[in-house]
Structure 1
């Protein structure tokens, strides 16, 4: 152990995301490194708006031409780790948020307790496929006129425990428009006791009036799904304008991993069939959703927490994109059978 007042310098290259050096320099939440002066240097940084422009860290040693030749020689993945201290290449990130295709903005002061009455304009863009080219058309509409007709659902991912090392519980409000575009409307992320979670789920539901509540019902979480239904039934007699929705316990196919579930959203990003609230990108918990989306890789190695993006992926097990044959129920089904 070092004596009081001693200094330590830790220098290295981030070859692997699972290395302790990567954990110390690139992740948050470990109090051992809260007061470290951490700096990650990259040999070259490209301008996001103009990739032809770049800033070189050490031009006398490695010019842009030398670095680009080295990248061609060893490949994007190795170059990203050895020269950019970023042991993941852009090709590995499969969920790409394009501000033009995948974001919307809302003007005016927003009342989260009564969002469906908001009359401020919502602005977004849609990709228009014209012969030989792709164009984007800008749209705007009063918020309530666009969102009120949507098929809205509430998704809940239960996180056990209240310590900083436990996963978060997550509530997400999503809306589907007539083009099957998925809109992220609202989100809550945090740790709380069951009684508080039940109240928050009901309050979010009362504000947004979703038609379905999708609640992860794996193992002990099934009892929480039952508790939500009981809470809604109890509150129905106490509220002047009650809200009632179907509670849908979500179970997953045994051979489908979490990574595969999240990867199932990929098809929505490229054509712009998922929209994030760009005006809230820097605010909790939407900043976490953005970060988890952008850092998602199939091995989940970049994600200390994945609760937000995992909750969004649950929509695939609530709203099906394909139709099915209607079968009349012979008796009242149990909650798990619904």
Structure 2
């Protein structure tokens, strides 16, 4: 994970296939290879209902070699969870029927699939859909970067209601045929708002030092763990960075990071999805390990790395309509071979090119495409 990673050449077909084609166990689930699809919000689900187009979208990637599909973020059944009526929901008869078809389509294509369960917390603004009257809620009613509350600090009843919503969604996921769940605790959304001192100013048992700030997320993980089958995988996604605060950090040292991750692992998280903007960057001084590498070292749990895989450019530029050139993955394969982490989640490269995984596994590197944000609008 050095500067030379930016200019590395394409690895040999045999090496890529050998390293990425190995199966991996996440609790009771065996994923056929080390490639995951990163969750990416698309807003293609009017009424919160994923249609046949959503099922086809995921099935195409699974059929082309992606071992594990992590769906776009999908709102749990709490009225303050979201901010759009076009982002899918993981509650309601029609919504769950749509998701069941998506899971069936992915399985028929040979893949595995988990929904990312999501509550945005204080990112929500008053009056936004799908429930316009719902208040914005968070640990302290603080938006990222704000100094004064603009929403409601959550009561114990609020905390219990959100935990119940995540539990109901996870139980539904297992019932309709999904292979596990991912809990979204990253990027400044609700669970992350509790983890980060910048948005958690509570003076009760849910605020204070890093261990106390982890209490709510750990309770939620534990409740989900108790409600689903023992072998049903729970993945916890987290990040240091937040929306619009890219230099934010939950932990300045490995010791601080361990104090946050250990309660989550003990509560029942089977794997961690460590979200970074550039996977090749070391997380702490004095070590080449990235965030996923440190996560595995500290917890012993399987980890998924992510962040501009296959592309030389920050993914946030994609929201501004900017493209990104191709980048080799030799350094990624090196780290996987050293078992620093266990899987790699691919975002923009796989969004633009459904065949990305099959091309990588077959060594067809000359067929890979740079990221084109403008052309992407016509793709599915």
Sort the TM-score into its range (normalised by shorter chain): under 0.3
Larger helix proportion, structure 1 or 2? 2
Select the structure with the greater relative contact order (CA < 8 A; seq sep ≥ 6).
Answer: 2
Larger gyration radius, structure 1 or structure 2: 1
Q: Normalization by structure 2: what TM-score?
A: 0.25
Question: Which of the two has greater strand per residue?
Answer: 1
TM-score (norm 1): 0.27
